[in-house]
Homo-oligomer: A and B are copies of this chain.
Amino acid sequence: MSLTVVGSIAFDAVKSPFGEREKMLGGAAVHFSLAASFFTDVRVVGPVGDDFGDAEYEVLRSRGVITDDIEHVEGGDTFFWKAHYEFDMNTAHTEDTQLGVFGEFEPKLSDESKSSDVLFLANIQPDVQRGVLEQSQARFSGLDSMNLWIETARDSLVKTIGGVDLLFLNDAELRMLTEEANLVKAARAVMDMGPSTVVAKQGEYGAALFTKEGFFALPAYPLETVVDPTGAGDSFAGGFLGYLGSRSDASDEELRRAMVYGSTLASFNVEEFGTERVSRLTREEIDERYSEFERMTALAGLPA
């Protein structure tokens, strides 16, 4: 089984109440790839500049991520993002964004990338996402987006959403996209656009899964300290689709398990800055936290 992710590869400068990093590896495709790498073969597609070197490639390769489809743009600079978090940690306050080579990104999938079983379209302009989707032969595709595209490119986004199997969005974005205040109605409205599955990302409250068969919700792992929330959503998607990419179907049962793996990877991701925690994560730690999720939500199996 294999999985292809298309999205940003970046350098991030992040300051939070627990410290700061001036320049560290980041970007949606990176966080996603590292999380997914625990479950299946991952190919990452995205552009980098001359400042992207062996140390950065090594973070990906040491987790087995296939970097053949990373596009090195001569003379360009890698996407750079600078932000800080206040104590509530729910909102990233962006201080600087330099798109660099990401601004001109026109992804062309290699034959290997096209033929992956699962495709993830990380947050990019929806026309670009649709261009990728049209090249792909994936049996299952997921998409992330953001408020910017809902506001500035809604028609294109709706068209792109119509072509994928699963949409990841946070609650506020789901409401904005569908103009439905009620989340259940909003999820149904998204399914009417095409996807069979909607995952509502709810930050510290976890995530909710809407399918034709029903509803499932999972709390976030209760962490006492969140050091850097950057990439939590992409780590969630990576754990989720990585697990799904390792399975033969996307049944309701498998989707529920994917929710747990997604939440597990997101919870590790935010424990340290950038990719630091997930880079040295082990499968044993993942399985232990999966079991903790089972214990902290156990209900049906309680002794009478």
Mask, A198-226, CB within 8 Å of B = 1, is 00001011101000001111110011111
Give the CA-CA distance A181 to B204 in the complex, in Å: 12
> What residues of chain B lie closer than 8 Å to A182, measured between beta carbons?
223-226
* CB-based contact A297/B297 at 8 Å: yes
* CB-based contact B89/A181 at 8 Å: yes
Give the CA-CA distance A91 to B294 in the complex, in Å: 33
**Of B181, B214, B295, B298, which one neighbours A295 at CB under 8 angstroms?**
B214
Mask, A58-93, CB within 8 Å of B = 1, is 000000000000000000000000000001110000
**Of B89, B208, B226, which one neighbours A219 at CB under 8 angstroms?**
B208
> What residues of chain B lie closer than 8 Å to A216, measured between beta carbons?
296-297
Indicate if A299 sits at the interface (CB-CB under 8 A).
yes
- In this complex, what residue of B is CB-closest to A304? B253
Within 8 A of B (CB), among A206-260: 206, 208, 214-219, 222-226, 253, 256-257, 260
Indicate if A55 sits at the interface (CB-CB under 8 A).
no
> What residues of chain B lie closer than 8 Å to A88, measured between beta carbons?
181
**Of B181, B183, B224, B293, which one neighbours A299 at CB under 8 angstroms?**
B293
